[in-house]
Amino acid sequence: MTTDLATDIMVSLRHATAGPHARLEQALGLLKGVPDRSRFIVFLERLYGFHSRLEPALLRQSACAAFFQPRQRLGLLESDLIALGCADSRLRALPHCAEAFGLVQSDAAATGIMYVLEGATLGGHVINRSLAGLPWMPAEGLRSLDPHGAETGAQWRAFGAFARDMQAQTGSEPILRGAEACFALLADWLRPAFRS
Ligand code: HEM
């Protein structure tokens, strides 16, 4: 048994990524001032290019694929962008983050990465609620930011159980490294969406 099993992986993940999360949230500044449509389009376009390369890699990891399969968000990102008025030709021409595929080297790394993706739904739930009623918002909201809706808490607990099982098999370190690497690459990739 490895010694790093003593601390709950969800506590360790939160601790390890609190700084990067705070910096990313601040740099994006999505809710500062009156949130405008064009800023959310750029944000979702960058997420689209990230998920397009990350999701196929997560689905290749044997222990994670079944858990991740219903949590894919690429289709939701695409339909949100279309609902926001993004033309099909523009969608097809969006850049993709090739390095995202290489982040996923193991089931443990994939678990750390899924922590980042699933955690983003907590903030996304808050964001989606605060955007409700704005004239440019699609009637059903931005589902790619808030894919679980009323189930957000339950889905987060389900992810916690999955991560703890993985921790019991691999220890904490490779899961933490996966989450840190994902935050670092995502923050770099999202730079065009930062508030200037
Ligand atoms: C793509 C960008 C983002 C990523 C990857 C991300 C990631 C995460 C992660 C991993 C967590 C889980 C923290 C934990 O372990 O409890 C989290 C929570 C949260 N995030 Fe973000 N986040 C992002 C953007 C934002 C933004 C822009 C906001 C601003 C509203 C935000 C607000 C929150 C809130 C309110 C929580 C819940 C904290 C709690 O329940 O105590 N996030 N996010």
CA of 1 to the centre of ligand 1 (A): 32
What percentage of the chain has pLDDT greater than the value 70?
A: 98
Q: What is the pLDDT of residue 1?
A: 44
What percentage of the chain has pLDDT greater than the value 90?
A: 95
Query: Domain total for the chain?
Result: 1
Residue 73 lies in a domain: yes
11-15 mean pLDDT: 98
145-160 mean pLDDT: 98
pLDDT for 86-125, tens place per residue?
A: 999 999 999 999 999 999 999 999 999 999 999 999 999 9
5 pLDDT band (50/70/90 cuts)? confident
Length of the chain: 196
Which residue owns the Cα nearest ligand 1 atom 11?
Answer: 119
Cβ-Cβ contacts under 8 Å for 34 (sequence gap 6 or more): none
| Ligand 1 within 6 A of CB of 67 | no
User: Minimal CA–CA distance to 159: which of 110, 193, 123?
Assistant: 110
Residue 102 lies in a domain: yes
pLDDT for 54-85, tens place per residue?
A: 999 999 999 999 999 999 999 999 999 999 99
Q: What is the pLDDT of residue 196?
A: 78
Residue 162 lies in a domain: yes
Res. 167: pLDDT tops 60: yes
Q: What is the pLDDT of residue 13?
A: 98
| Ligand 1 within 6 A of CB of 24 | yes
Res. 4: pLDDT tops 90: no
CA of 47 to the centre of ligand 1 (A): 15
Q: What is the pLDDT of residue 120?
A: 98
Residue 81 lies in a domain: yes
pLDDT for 21-46, tens place per residue?
A: 999 999 999 999 989 999 999 999 99
Q: What is the pLDDT of residue 6?
A: 87
Q: Which domain holds residue 68?
A: 8-21+35-193
Residue 100 in tokens: 């995202």
* 134: CATH: 1.20.910.10
Residue 187 lies in a domain: yes
Res. 2: pLDDT tops 80: no
Mean pLDDT of the chain: 96
CA of 10 to the centre of ligand 1 (A): 14
Q: Tell me, what amino acid is at 193? A: A
Residue 2 lies in a domain: no
4-21 mean pLDDT: 95
Residue 114 lies in a domain: yes
Residue 28 lies in a domain: no
| Ligand 1 within 6 A of CB of 127 | yes
Using CB atoms within 10 Å of the CB of residue 144, give its burial: 0 to 12 exposed, 13 to 18 middle, 19+ buried: buried
Residue 8 vs residues 11, 15, 19, 140: alpha-carbon distances, Å: 5, 11, 19, 36
